[in-house]
Structure formats: C-alpha cells, structure tokens
Chain A
Amino acid sequence: MVSIQISAQSNQLSSSPYSLYGLGLSNETSTGTINGLGGLGLAMPSNRFINSSNPASFGSILPNSFFFDFGFKAQTNTLSEKGGSNSNFIGNFSNIALAFPVTKKSGFGLTLIPLTNVGYSVSNIQTNIEGSSSSIFITDITGTGGINDLKLNYGYALSNKLRLGINASALFGQITQTETDYLPYNTFIIEDVNNYSGIRLGAGFQYDVLKSTSIGATINLPTSLNGSKSSTITLYTSDSTSDLTENTESSIDDFKLPLELAFGFQTTFKNYLSVNFDYKKSFWDTTNQTDQLGEFVDQDAFGIGLQYAAEKKIGKFFNNLEYRAGFDFSNGNLEVNDQRIQNSALKLGIGVPFNNGTSSMINIGYTYGKKGQVSSGLINENYHLLTLNLSLEGIWFMKRKID
C-alpha cells in the first residue's frame, strides 16, 4: 500500500502556488461521504463508511463488516494576480483506506491519505546577470510531492452512547523543488529533495447526546517532522551534455506541526435530513515558524454540511441517492504582508448506493473553492475539485439466508 502511495506522490497532487509554503497545501479530501459535505464529520460514526476524521468512530463498526475506501480526485485551478492568470489541471489517486471490527465494541482502521500536497510551477522568471548590462537568465521552478499520512485508528465503544478512540500516524514524504535556470549558453538545474518523517498521535471521542444527535471531538498532538535535504546540481552545456553534477546532503530544519483541537456536531431530522457542523483550531502560533513567504499563524476552520437521504425504495433510483451540500471556511495558517490566505469552498455531493444489501456506495463530490484575493497583492486561486470515492462494504462471516 505504501508503495502505491509513493508512486502516486511522484505525480503532481496539487497545482497551486500556495503549496510553495510550508510542507504544501493541507489535503482537503477525505474518505467516504465527507467529500461532498462541508466540515470534517467529527461526530459521524463509521458504521456506513470509513470516517477517518475521528478515531472514536471506529468503535461503531458493525460486526462482520469490512470497509474499503478508494478515492480519486481531479482538479482544475485558475490562478490570477494583478496582470495575469492561467489555468491548469491535475488528476490523481487521493486515498486508500480499510476498516474492520476487532470485537463487537471496537474497530480498527488503516488509512493512507495525503497530509499535504505540493504542486507548483512558476515559470519564466527573468533575472539580470549581474555584471552585464543586458544579459538575463530565465528561471522555471517546479515543486512536487507531499507528505503522506499512514494513519492507524482504533475506536472502542465504551457504552451505546460513548465511543473513544486513539490514532497514530506515520508521516513521511518527499518534497522536490526543481529550479531550472536557462543561461545564455548553459542550463543549470538545482534539484532539492526534502525528505520529512515523523510520528503523530491523536485521540478522539464521540457521544450520542440523543438518538439523532451526536457530538465528537479530536485532539492531534503537536509533533515535529525530521527533515533532510539532498541537493543535486547539474550543469548542462549548450549541446545538452551533462557537464557537471554535484550531490550534497544536508540537514534542514525540522517542520513542526501544531496542536490541533477539533469539535463536531451532527443531528438528523426526521431520519432523512442530517446536518453536521465542525470547527477545528490549529495552534500554529506556538510553532514559531516562518516561511520565506510569511508567518504561520493560528488557524480556524469551520465547516457545515447537509445531507438528504430519502426513504429507500427498491427500484427507484433517484429515491435511493444521497444528496449532500456544504460550505467550508478557513482563515488560513499563513500570513503574508499582514494578509491571511483565506480559503472558502462550496461543496456538493451525491452518493450512489450499490443496493446489494451493504452500505457500499459511490460517493461523488464537487468543490468550488477560492484562496487568496487579488486586491491585497496575493494570488487569487479558484479551483474546481471533483472527487470520487468507492466506499465499499464487505460482509464477513455471515451465513447466507438462502442457501
């Protein structure tokens, strides 16, 4: 599973200049139905799909169930700043997850999902060659990679109403920045491969306040990712032969991930309309980190989601679909020129059940989002994100009713 993800990471998973900072853009996609909803779904159980947002949800996996989740995404970005704009498109695999019950009261899950995505391409930067009046060189910079989160979740149902969970994440990944300088007679390539790795621990609970209303919360402890850098410098002469290659290994600053606290609420009206609300605070201030672009600051993220699922009727396709909508807002964790890079996103989703007696479902989510704004000298980025999650449930150890 790890190898699949690593090969997937070699492709560009994001395409945003905002992924220049830190370890890249925080991954926005999730597992199961959550992609079509706003928020994180912290109060949602894992009895119909894998909810890897809260480890406590794994205490609700029904005996004999076995869940898989495969996610794919496609995204198109339009970037604009004063004087110009351009668009790009990327598509990729976005997660793989499985979950199964351990006992009647506990469940276990393993999720491999990006923590961050890096994908940027800044081209045609012109710089003067110092000491010459007219010569310039042109630079293209691209960044790829990201940090993976291999997350183990364990949830335990303490009672019918209260579930507790813990999670541990192995965070690892590689961020590659390639700078290509086109000089008058030579091409100079600097490839920096930054490797990061670390462990992060977290915990959560879910409590069913009423039959139709739950709350949940999670904590992710702060951690530090060890970084190392390997640089390769290659000089190509005009006839494209490699003229000189140098490799250097160096250590780079560890990257600190902050304490994160999140709270979620979910309630269902009349069995078919459910509402969830989530709030997450990331305490970036205390990491005291700055980036060449700006400063990391405490981040607040809100999300609200609505889901409508009519009463199931066999043979009526549209009746059996689940309709979702949501809205996310985050004030961003980076401050550039006293301006925060805010992110807002409108989400729509649809769930198509398999109708085979399981909770298996194809979840399709659409997000229209926006980052930054042109007026304050930032880059305004609009993006359309399409996600497809195959959320599959296998029933184990169950005798067939008719043999």
Chain B
Amino acid sequence: MTIKQVITVPIFIIALCALFISCENDDETIPVGEDWVNLDTKVYFIDTLTIKSSTFKFDSITVSGTSKLLVGAYTDPIFGLTKSKSYVQLSNSIYTLDSKYTYDSIALILNYDSYFYNDTIPVQTINIYEVLDDIEPDDDATSYYNTTKITSTTTPIGTKRFLAKPTKDDSLHVTLSNTYGKTLFENIRDNKINNSDEFLKTYKGILIEPDNSNTAMLGFLKTSFIRVYYTDKSEVVTDSDYIDISFDETNSFHNISSEIEPTIFSSLTNQETFLPSTSTDNNVFMQAGTGMATRIDIPNLESLYDIPGTGIIIDANLKFKLKQNSATDNLYTDDNLNVYIIDHESNIVSALVDSQGSTVYATIESENSEFNITTYTIPVKYFLNLKLTDINGDKYYLAIYPSSFSESVNRYIFNGEAASKTIKSKLELTYAIYDK
C-alpha cells in the first residue's frame, strides 16, 4: 500500500460515512431539544366515568304536522301491543250537483307512504268509524298528541281485510257503507249541505282503526281521500263520475298507544319515573310513537376536576350498543337516533348540538357482523361542557329516542352500563391538562 493509498482510503471511507449520516438525518427530523422542553400538557383517555342509563316514557308527544298517518298494530314480547289509529277530518269542496245524478258507491282510498314496521305477511283488518265529536285538540292544548282521543261510533261504516303491500301498491281501497255514502251524496245533491261549516257539522270525520292482531304498522299519506261515485241515468248510455273528499291535513292525526300487559314498563306512569337499566336486566329501551326514551345521567362529571391542573375536554363520545339479536328484519332499527337535552322532569331543554351549534345525532359507529354488535356513538363534548358550566348543569340529562319519533313505532333495546365489558354502554372522554 502506498502512502497515497494510506491517506486516501480512510478519507474516502470517512466521506462516505459523512454522506450516509447526513442523508439519514435528512430523512427524519429528530427532535433536538426535546428533553429541554418541560411539557406541562397531559392528555388522559377516560372511559371509567359513571353513567346511569334508564328508560322513561314521555307523558305525550305531539303528533300535529306529521307527514303520514299510522294505522296498524304489532305485538312484541317486551313492548307488548303497540297500536295506532288515525282520526281524519274531511275537507269537501263540491257543494253543487245536478239533480239528475244518482249515488252509486263510496270508497276510502288510502295512499301508502313507504313506511311500514313489522311483518306484512299476515292478513290485517282495519275498521272505519264515524267520528262523533269535532276533531280538534283537547281544550287546554293547541296541538294533537299521541294520546288525543275523540268519540266515535261503535259500528263501523267499513271494514277491510287485506294483505298490506306498501311498497308494491300505491293505495288501499276500502269500500264504505252505502248507507253512509248515499246520505252524504244526497245531502250535497239536494242542497242540505251547502258549505264547509254545514258539512263539518254533519260529517265530523272518520276513524281508521286496526284490530289488535300482530300485523304491520302502515303509514298512509294525508293525500288519501274518500271518493263518491255517482251516475247520470237520464242519458241513454249511463254516464258515471265521482267527487273526491280530501283529508284535512291539519286536523288529521294518529293516536298511538301501547297496551301493556303487566310488564317491566307498568311502572312508567309519568315521565318523571325512571326505570334503571340495572333493574331491567341491564337493558334500556326506546320506542317511537309511544314516547319511550332512554335517559343518560352522568352523575359524577365533576370528578374530572379531581385531576390536578386546569383542563379542557378535548373530545367526548357516548357509546352504546344494541342488544344482540334484538333488531330483526321486521323489527328493524335506524342508523340515526335523536338526542335531546332534558331536565330532571324530562322536559326538553334543547336538541343536542355540537360546539358549532349544529344538531348532532346518535349515529352508528361500527357494526360487527360476526358478533352482531351494533355500536352507536353520540358526540357529547358540548353537553359535558354545558353541564360543567351551566348553573342548572347538574339537572341536565340526555334523552335518546328514535328518529321520526312522532310518526313511527320503531323500538330499540340497548345494553346498559352494567352489561358485560364488551357490550356495555360507556362514556369515552379525552381530557387535557394544560396548566398546572
């Protein structure tokens, strides 16, 4: 080895190493000075805060302004019989008919909404009754409630046994009694009824009521109507025509009730009674239409302040899971649930919103098909901050209930906070301490 080589080889190696090291340093930024920074910020993930879930039932829910009318009944082993009947005020606009016309027939045409719940395979029966009192809200109320009732005849003016095909058929045709139809037609033709007031005095409305058999809950549109057919027999060839009497959209509503056998819900006589999940086999319940909802209480939120330092809730989500196999194809669940802030008397304070003021819902976070676990999540950071800062914060709870609460009857069973570890409901909180 020459002297030149002795010198150049190590220099070459050193240069190569230097190149390698400098390349390596370019590839990743190494935090220089990391140890020098006294990082005060600490972030905690907390999923052990106590929550208490319970079932309660709103005394009544308003059903004015729904887009559909529910008619039907279904029976569930836990929820019992759920039944909806609809009161309809009629709105007629034709009061002049030539005396040459004679009555032919009358039918109630019910236009299907796409909504249905439970099994449509069994034959179901509906009865149509005449309403005997004016259809109007109760004396002290301005809107109709799911509990509003109006007197009706006991003998039906029409009965229909049918197979419900809400997705296939456009409408359901119910023939009404000719006695009812003929009188109605002649009252108009013979000018016994000449305007709406006179019409409503005689024809206060109809009640569409299902029988109690376990069938489907059906939704009908308020564009449904009564059609009266008549003919002109003075012509050589009989000419037939009809008049349509539409539904008054404002004064048509459904009454939804659950006829509960002595079940776990028997004690829910008013909305200030709560059925803790721990006393219902670690389940909580909700059902649209009847007003059954789940209440979430976070009783020890202030224990966050036991962590020393000034902190801030970074993120908070309430997670709860459907009871396994409780939802079926017939008794299906929706992907979104409504969430409201309520007070200790279960009066609604406001819809749950996020910090931007946008309404938030319970949404499906994950669906595990292997174990049939559906998890819903609700962002509750805003709510927790409200609880911590509002003077009435300790009286605020969350009420979770199905969407379309006033015009559907979907029911849900969720696991409570004391269920086994993998399925229990819990509050997941990310909390940061930034100042000691």
Report which A residues bind B (CB closer than 8 A). 17, 20, 79-81, 83-86, 120, 122-125, 127, 129-132, 135, 137, 139, 141, 179, 181, 183-186, 188, 190, 231, 233, 235, 237, 241, 243-244, 246, 292-293, 379
Contacts and interface: CB of A to CB of B under 8 A. Distances in A.
Scoring A85, A131, A231 by chain B CB atoms within 10 A of each residue's CB, the highest score goes to A131
Interface in B8-44: 25, 29-34, 36-39, 41-44
Given A86-B29, A130-B44, A235 B312 contact: yes
29 contacts: A79-B32, A81-B32, A84-B31, A84-B32, A85-B25, A86-B32, A120-B33, A122-B32, A122-B33, A125-B31, A127-B39, A127-B41, A129-B43, A131-B45, A131-B47, A132-B45, A139-B37, A139-B39, A141-B37, A181-B41, A184-B430, A186-B315, A188-B434, A241-B356, A243-B355, A244-B355, A293-B36, A293-B38, A379-B36
A111 B434 CA distance: 39
Given A130-B44, A183-B315, A186-B314, A124 B29 contact: yes
B36 A17 contact: yes
B383 to A, nearest CB: 14
Scoring B29, B37, B41, B42 by chain A CB atoms within 10 A of each residue's CB, the highest score goes to B37
Contacts of A243: 355-356, 381
Interface of A is mostly: strand
Given A20-B36, A244-B355, A131 B29 contact: no
Nearest to A294: B36
Contacts of B150: none
B249 to A, nearest CB: 39
B432 interface: yes
Interface string B237-268: 00000000000000000000000000000000
Interface of B: 25, 29-34, 36-39, 41-47, 312, 314-315, 355-356, 381, 385, 430, 432, 434-435
Given A85-B32, A125-B31, A188-B434, 16 more contacts: A20-B33, A20-B37, A79-B32, A81-B32, A84-B31, A85-B30, A124-B34, A127-B42, A137-B43, A141-B37, A183-B315, A183-B432, A190-B434, A231-B435, A244-B312, A379-B36
Contacts of A137: 43
B39 to A, nearest CB: 6
Interface of B is mostly: mixed
A80 B32 contact: yes
Contacts of B29: 86, 123-124
B30 A125 contact: no
A228 to B, nearest CB: 15
Contacts of B356: 241, 243
Contacts of B435: 231
Nearest to A246: B312
A243 B432 CA distance: 15
Nearest to B26: A86
A120 B32 CA distance: 10
B80 to A, nearest CB: 42
Given A183-B430, A190-B434, A135 B30 contact: no
B230 to A, nearest CB: 63
A185 B36 CA distance: 27
B31 A181 contact: no
Given A85-B25, A181-B41, A124 B31 contact: yes
Given A132-B45, A244-B355, A181 B33 contact: no
B39 A125 contact: yes
A127 to B, nearest CB: 7
A332 B385 CA distance: 47
A124 B28 CA distance: 10
Given A84-B32, A244-B355, A122 B45 contact: no
Contacts of B314: 183, 186, 188, 235
B98 to A, nearest CB: 67
A231 to B, nearest CB: 8
A239 to B, nearest CB: 10
A372 to B, nearest CB: 10
B47 A379 contact: no
Contacts of A122: 31-34, 36-37
B25 A84 contact: yes
Nearest to A138: B31
A346 to B, nearest CB: 23
A235 B381 CA distance: 12
Contact of B32 (A17, A181, A185): A17
B44 A129 contact: yes
B324 to A, nearest CB: 26
B359 to A, nearest CB: 16
B45 A135 contact: yes
Pick the 10 closest A-B CB pairs, nearest first: A84-B30, A17-B33, A132-B45, A131-B45, A292-B38, A79-B32, A122-B33, A129-B43, A243-B355, A130-B44
Contacts of B355: 237, 243-244
Contacts of A130: 42-45
